[in-house]
Structure 1
Amino acid sequence: MQKTKMLFAALSVAALGSTLVGCSGVVSEVGGSGDCAPSESKTIGWDWPLSSLEMYEPFNKKVAAIAEDRGFETVTTTNDGDLQQQVSDLETWVTQGLAAFGTYALEPSSIEPVAKEAMNNCVGFVSYGTQMDNQDASIDFAWDKSGAELGKNAREWATDHGGELKALVLHDRDITAGKERDDALMAEFPGTAENVEVVSHQRAVDTASGESVTSTVLQAHPDLDMVLAYNDDVAIGARQAFINAGFAEDDPDVYIGGQDGSPSALRLLQKDDIFRASSAVLFDDLTSVVANTICDVAEGKEPDYGPLDFVVLTADDQEQVTKFLDAYK
């Protein structure tokens, strides 16, 4: 009977810290079969199909550097949001006989056959961001907590600000993380802030679409005050739309918030800016968990990392903002 090694990287609202602590896990042979042994291959794969994001390149470089320290070469993909290409890339890795690979499945049901094929061929499979039926380990995130905490921060800002406010919510409900973040955000926002009206709820996946959609909404609602976004890249695009419309960068009546803690978002939080909040995970912790989990699976070991700490950063948290930004260096 197949067992599964599991890593739960909970984005908890705990005291912020960079130390990774142990968590429970069930050990199985790589591939879920007693006939499998750790591969002689020293190549692992990391598939993060969000290559348009600012964090993509530094994320991949850091994962590769950590894996190199453990004696592994890392290959990556550039299938930005293309499910068919993602499936093809992962099938190629199985054929090539990588020691193990990790992936953020755009559509888990479409990746399940590849995961099963990998395990049947003694190639370690690590799922990122969601539980799958076929996996040697998973790195799970409470995406809902990220969205909920941004919603709470925005609600508090709106309540403190006062006056009648109009808000735009930008989501990406086509992927698991986006749907869970959006559901939780909307459960908290506007909530008790009765002075807020959500005038539009639209999809935006990157900086360009964040700017385009926000520009269109601003034309219909020139008195728009708030934008809450699925990630920081989208939020930064929304910010640019406000600047293009003549708003000052430090306009006290505008709130823009994102999620992920990207370098550009953190730099904006270092100054008095209309970009006011980001739900963030410390970059060092995130990349360490990803790289070491895949390497552990490749070596037939039990992953033992997490949980990851999570925090909403604002301009009032300068020491923390600096710490999170320094992690990218």
Structure 2
Amino acid sequence: MRRTIRLTAAAAMVSVLVLTGCTNLAASSGSSAAPAPADSGSSDKGAVALSFGGLDIQVWNTLLDKVGTSVEAAGYEFLSDDPQWDLQTQISDWESWIARGDVKAIMGYPVQSDSMVTVTQQAQQAGVQVLGYASAWEGTSAAVLIDNRNDGIHLGESMGEWVNDKYGKDAEVPVALLGYWDTDLGRERSEGIVEGLKNVGANVSITEHSVISLDDGYKAAQNQLAAKPDTKIWLSMGNDPALGAYQALLDSGVNPQDPDVTLGSIDATDEILDIVKDPQSFWRILYSPNLQDIADAMSALLIASAGGTELSDTTLASERVTADNIDTFYVK
């Protein structure tokens, strides 16, 4: 059965807003105006904020909803924004939060970490603790970290072993790498994937595509097939580009159970899990942290920071999704 996947960020956002009842998603207009708070009303305990580089990533929308629910239950107002991958917009949003006077903590995934150092210092000087998600940078008080490089290495090694078993080492096998090198998470995962392929001695020729969204993944797969139509091996550092590439392959006529094609990626969503659950699906390799664990760790760190509790880093690793554990990765 062929599957149809939403291929525009706008459509993905509409779906998320419907599913979550439009809670906790305050979009930034890109202007200098303050980001709109989540519709939770003011709180005597103050507010906390969560800022991702953009809201075109399905996993991040899931985390926003879960974290927002938890911090509101703890008595804090929850704020968020959508910088749309514009650095200056994200900086302006943070400055607006700092100026409010009631924001206790800001957790963020910066568009560009190094460029957030100054506004991070401004926040700390104003008594607003800055927390990292997925990575830390100069001035952060603590972070919920993801072992991005090792996650990439594990994916690359698993795919390399599959290539060795399927194609051997005599002929060079073309590989499409849907990576991203403009953020710490994307760069570490992408470099890790290449390292993992080398670790197991896979004889591959890698074509790198810089992608971040569903549309990016779809277009990258089209370009890859146009340049190298015999490409059978696909690797993605994230879920959205992988979904886009998967749909592009189906649209090009690839059987979803083609035994010669393999797609591997990091980060599980319910939509991806439904595909991987088919034991004959060519989406054969998936590594992911548990989203509920991430949301719990983020919520706990924000609440601890707002409450003046001693802080410490938490590091979460991905594990391979298998038939035995796949049900535990679905978002409840």
Query: In structure 2, what is the Cα distance between the partners aligned to 1:72 and 1:240?
Result: 41
> What's the offset of the Cα at 1:147?
0.6
Q: Does structure 2 retain, via aligned residues, the 8 Å contact 1:232–1:278?
A: no
The one-letter code matched in structure 1 to 2:211 is A
Residue correspondences, number: 285
Percent of residue pairs identical: 23
Task: Give yes or no for contact 1:289–1:306 (8 Å, CA) kept in 2.
Answer: yes
2:300 matches 1:295 = no
- Structure 2 equivalent of residue 251 of structure 1: 258
1:180 aligns with 2:188: yes
* 1:63-142 equivalences in 2 (<5 Å): 63-97=67-101, 98-142=103-147
The answer as to 2:290 corresponding to 1:282 is: yes
Q: Is the 2:74–2:303 Cα contact (8 Å) retained in structure 1?
A: yes
Pairwise CA distance, 1:41: 4.2
Note if contact 1:137-1:297 (Cα within 8 Å) is conserved in structure 2.
no
Q: Per-residue deviation at 1:69?
A: 2.2
Instruction: Name the CA distance, whole Å, in 2 between partners of 1:155 and 1:57.
Output: 32
Residue in 2 aligned with 1:42?
46
Give per-residue Cα distances to partners, 1:214-235, cap 9 Å, x unaligned. 1111012111101111201111
Q: Return the offset for 1:57.
A: 2.1
Offset from partner CA, 1:179-226 (integer Å, 9 cap, x none): 11111111121544444332x112111111111011111012111101
Q: Is the 8 A contact 1:166 1:224 kept in 2?
A: yes
1:1-329 matched pairs, under 5 angstroms: 41-97=45-101, 98-162=103-167, 164=171, 165-198=173-206, 200-271=207-278, 272-303=280-311, 306-313=314-321, 317-325=322-330, 328-329=331-332
Q: Give the Cα–Cα distance (whole angstroms) in 2 for the partners of residues 130 and 204 of structure 1.
A: 20
Q: Structure 2: how far apart are the matches of 1:277 and 1:87?
A: 37
How far is the alpha carbon of 1:155 from its aligned partner? 0.6
Contact kept, 8 Å, 2:144 with 2:315, in 1: the verdict is no
State the 4+ residue runs in structure 1 displaced beyond 3 angstroms.
Answer: 190-195, 303-307
After TM superposition, give the deviation of residue 152 of structure 1 in Å: 0.8
CA distance in 1, matches of 2:318, 2:266: 11
Structure 1 residues 134 and 191: CA distance shift in structure 2, 3 A: closer
What secondary structure does 2:316 align onto?
coil
How far 1:322 sits from its partner (Å)? Answer: 0.8
CA contact (8 A) 1:116 1:134 kept: yes
Q: Deviations over 1:53-78 (max 9, x none)?
A: 11222211100111122111211111
Give the whole-Å Cα distance in 2 for the aligned partners of 1:240 and 1:261.
Answer: 16
**How far does the alpha carbon of each residue in 1:124-176 deviate from its partner, in whole angstroms, 9 at most, with x for none?**
21122323221222222221011111101101111121254321111110111
Moved more, 134-143 or 150-159: 134-143
Map Cα deviations across residues 69-101 of structure 1 (whole Å, 9 max, x no partner).
211121111113111111111111101121111
Question: How far does residue 318 in structure 1 lie from its aligned partner after superposition?
Answer: 1.8
Q: TM-score scaled by structure 2?
A: 0.81
Alignment partners' CA distance in 1, 2:60 and 2:192? 25
The superposition leaves residues 272-308 of structure 1 with CA deviations (integer Å, 9 ceiling, x where unpaired) of 3121222201111100111110111111102367443
Letter in 1 for 2:107: G
Superposition CA RMSD, Å: 1.8
Runs (5+) with no aligned partner, structure 2: 1-42
- Gaps of at least 5 residues in structure 1 are 1-38
Match of 2:18 in 1: none
Task: Return 240-249 or 272-281, whichever deviates more.
Answer: 272-281
Does 1 or 2 have the higher relative contact order (CA < 8 Å, sep 6+)?
1
Give TM-score, length-normalised by structure 1: 0.82
